[in-house]
Each structure stands twice: as C-alpha cells, then as structure tokens.
Amino acid sequence: MLYVTACYAGVFALDKDFNVAAFSLFPRDAATIKERLHVLRKGVTTPELDEVLATAKDKALVTDLGFEYEGFEITREPGNPGAQYAASNVRKLAVETGFVKDQQELNALLSELARLETKEKLKAKPNKDKIVAQAVASIEDLTEIANVMSERLHEWYGIYHPELERKTRDNEKYAQAIVDGAKREEDTIGTYIEEDDLEQIRLHAAETVDLFGLKRDYEMYLERAMPGVAPNTTAVAGPILAAKMIKHAGSLERLAKMPASTIQLLGAEKALFRFMKSRKQGARDARPPKYGLLFTHPYIQHAPQEKRGKVARALAAKISMAAKTDFYSKEDRSETYKTDLEKKVKEIMAEK
C-alpha cells in the first residue's frame, strides 16, 4: 500500500513507514504550484501525478486527492496519515528532494503562495458577503502559514539564543525582536553560529513578520467592510465574528435561514458529533457543546462558566434576528439590537 499525496513541493508516494517511494517535483513557480494543487484536489491529473504513478510498483493506493486511475485500487481518505506526514514535513521533503536549496528559498516561495492565494480569494465576487467570507478564509490561511514559520523560527533561533523565548511567547513579537537584532545574554546556553547563518534566520523572521502584518491588514479590511455587508449582525456579533459566521454558514442568506439553535453551535460541529457518538456508545456523562464560534464573543468570555450557556442562547437568538433583517429587509436596526442584547445579558447576570 502507498500513500499518494501532494504538497507545495510536488506529488509524493510514501510507504507505510512514510519513506518516499516515488516523487515528482512541481516547477519552482508559485503560480504554477497553486494551479497544480488546485486541479489535483479537483480530481484532475497532472504530469507530476502521472510520473509518480508510472513508477509505483504497489497498485493499492490511499490518497486525499480526487483522481481516478486505471489499474490501481484507490481508497480516498482525506487527512490520511500519509497526507498529514507530507503536510507536516513539507520543509524536510522540499530540501531533501532538491525542490529548494535551503529554507530561505522555501520561505520566499511560501510567502509568494500566500500572497497569491489571498489576492485571488479577495477578487470581486457577485455578492459582498462572499467577498468577506473569502477574506476570513485568507486570514485562516495566513494564520496557519505564519504559525508554521513561527514554529520553525523558534527552533532555528533557539539554537543561538534560547533565552529569548522566555522573554516573549508572542510569535510576532518574537520574530520582530530577531529582525531588530535581539542581543543574547553573556551567559547564554546557546551555541555560537556564524553571521551568515544569523542573516538567514533574520530573513526568515522578516518574512514571518510580514505574514502577521498581512493578516492584520485583512482583519482591518473586515472591520471596514462588514458594516456595509451586514450592519445588524456586525453590531451584535462584532465585525470579525460576524464575518466568520457568514463564512462558516456559506453566505448571509444561509445564515439568515438558520434557526438560533444552529447559529449557537455553528463551528462546533465536530464537538457535537463526538457527543452524539459518545451517547450512542452509552457514555452517560458526555455533555453537548454549548457554543461554537460564539465562544469568542466578549459577552461569553466575560460570563461566569455556569451562565455561558444562557448568554450563548440569547446571543444566538439576537444574531438570528439581525441576520434575517440584514438579508430580507435591509433595515438598519443595529442600535436597537445592541441595546436589547445588552439588557438581556444584564438580566442573565443578575439571576441567582
């Protein structure tokens, strides 16, 4: 059995121990890589996939891609162990297979890919709610890439200056400190490295800072755009949470058609599924989730644990009303909804 998957470097066939059995690299061009990954996920073959399968001796394949290929027994399994390994070890695979010569070259390529993806996702769409939904997806992409690069930066710079990590746990501040030339202590336990090595780490840190900056730009964009897309929902939920809920629902229309109970658990589908599965298996102490995306709302964050469920229900009910108003009547009742919600939450807090 072979795992067949694709990552930024190319198409890979891995054996059960995740050793590379065959591979074919993408051209080292961000636009081409983005297009290749897109068509592979849609089930279209590429020259790289053809090359890997032509050399595959094992005809039993497990893949997260959508292709069909004559002569192979294909099991489609999204998130399979091979796909997870390739995604987690893309840096190792990229260097060991000669896709890039070093981490600096890969960082530049990943940054360009991130910019292409976010730029494409923010192109004009027929409906404004679809635009902000794509902006949310772009922020999620940038967060994932920035976190991966931050993890590498901590490990890399930690060889030279391990004490810096104790001074700041914030990934962006950590990267910025390196860009600004953070000085290590005289009694450091870090290892001496050459200035050229340090320069490569600073370049990596600078790219990481840029990604965090781009993410912040898109968050500011959402804060500007959301009052024009869904003023009532934005007033009740806040611009970022409102945009996330529209994205998760699929559109403002779909959010408007959802009952309050569904809105309350939007984003908690996996937890709800685990609860239902546990109950089915006889686990009587299993508890259902009380909220999903709503957890980030200040009213829930500041509520005592025992009252969060009631606050979540009140918040979901008001968001449901606000979304319906935004989609159907287009009337701006944001101040009324905010006042009503604030009053309801105060009543819940006053209950004994």
pLDDT tens-digit series, residues 297-320: 999 999 998 999 999 999 999 999
330-336: list long-range contacts, CB under 8 Å, 24+ apart: 332/231, 332/232, 333/232, 334/231, 334/232, 334/234, 334/235, 334/236, 335/235
Cα→Cα distances 50→68, 214, 303, Å: 11, 36, 56
Q: 2-100 and 117-225 share one CATH topology?
A: no
Q: Which two tokens stand for residue 166?
A: 């104790």
Burial (0-12, 13-18, 19+ Cβ within 10 Å), 203: middle
**HSE value, Cβ hemisphere, 13 Å, CA-based, for 90:** 20
The parts of the chain modelled with pLDDT lower than 70 are: 121-126, 184-187, 272, 275, 279-286, 288
Condensed to tens digits (0 to 9), the pLDDT of residues 121-143 reads 656 445 788 889 999 999 999 99
Question: What CATH superfamily is the domain 230-350?
Answer: Nop domain (1.10.246.90)
Task: Quote the CA–CA distance of 183 and 122 in Å, as a whole number.
Answer: 40
Whether 294 contacts 325, CB under 8 Å? no
pTM of the model: 0.58
The CATH code of domain 2-100 reads 3.30.420.220
pLDDT of residue 125: 45
CATH fit for domain 117-225, picks 2.40.50.220, 1.20.1730.10, 3.30.70.270, 1.10.287.4070:
1.10.287.4070
Domain ranges of the chain: 2-100, 117-225, 230-350
Query: Across-strand partners of 322?
Result: none
Whether 137 contacts 222, CB under 8 Å? no
Helices 195-229, 171-179: axis angle to 10 degrees equals 130
Task: Reduce the DSSP state of residue 253 to 3 states and report it.
Answer: helix
